[in-house]
Every structure is written in structure tokens, then in C-alpha cells.
Amino acid sequence: MTTHSPVMPIWSCGGCDLPWPCPTRKRELRAEYADAPVSLALYLGSYLVQATEDMPWTPAGALHRRFLGWTREGARPTPAAQQRSTATVPAEPSREARQQPG
């Protein structure tokens, strides 16, 4: 069990006193939910709902970034200029196929 659990209703980390989820807990959660990103989002979404009730003065966008925004950081696609194409170029028709009437 992690020591980096949320301290409610102030939503600080019980292990390091940083805003929860702290960097350590984020690493732990990424490892725990490595093969289940949707489950991670649902788990953190439930905490987001609780946090909005506990901290109604906090802007919704800030809470969303804090609880959910970081989960997709590693999933960002590579810019198009850096991606390798996986498309295949069709073979050119043979000379016989080009000469046959269609």
C-alpha cells in the first residue's frame, strides 16, 4: 500500500504533502494501470468528483488537469513529420496487365 494517499478534504498527499496526486503517486498509478488506461481515468474521475465537492472554489479546469490531464501525457501521438509511414505502395501493374484491354 502506498503512503502517497490523498488527505481529504484538502487533497494533499499523505506521503509528501504535495497536491494529490503527487508525482510519486502518478508514477505508481501509471505502473498499476499500464494496461488499463480507461480504468485509470474512471478511478481518477471518481476522485475528481469528490475533489470538486470538497474544493468548490477551485476552477474546474485546474482540477481536471490535476486529476485527469496528466494521464494522457505519455499517450500523445508523435508529430506527423516524425512518424514513419506504415502505408504500402501498390506494386505497379505488370507490362502484360497494362497492355490488356479493360
Mean pLDDT by 10-residue block, N- to C-terminus, for the chain (102 residues)?
Answer: 90 96 97 96 97 96 96 61 49 62 60
61-77 pLDDT, tens digit per residue, is 999 999 999 998 765 44
Half-sphere exposure of 42 (CA within 13 A, CB side): 5
Q: Are 63 and 51 in contact (CB under 8 A)?
A: yes
CB-CB neighbours of 45 under 10 Å: 14
| Cα 6 to Cα 17: distance, rounded to the nearest angstrom | 9
CB-CB neighbours of 44 under 10 Å: 21
pLDDT at 73: 73
pLDDT at 78: 46
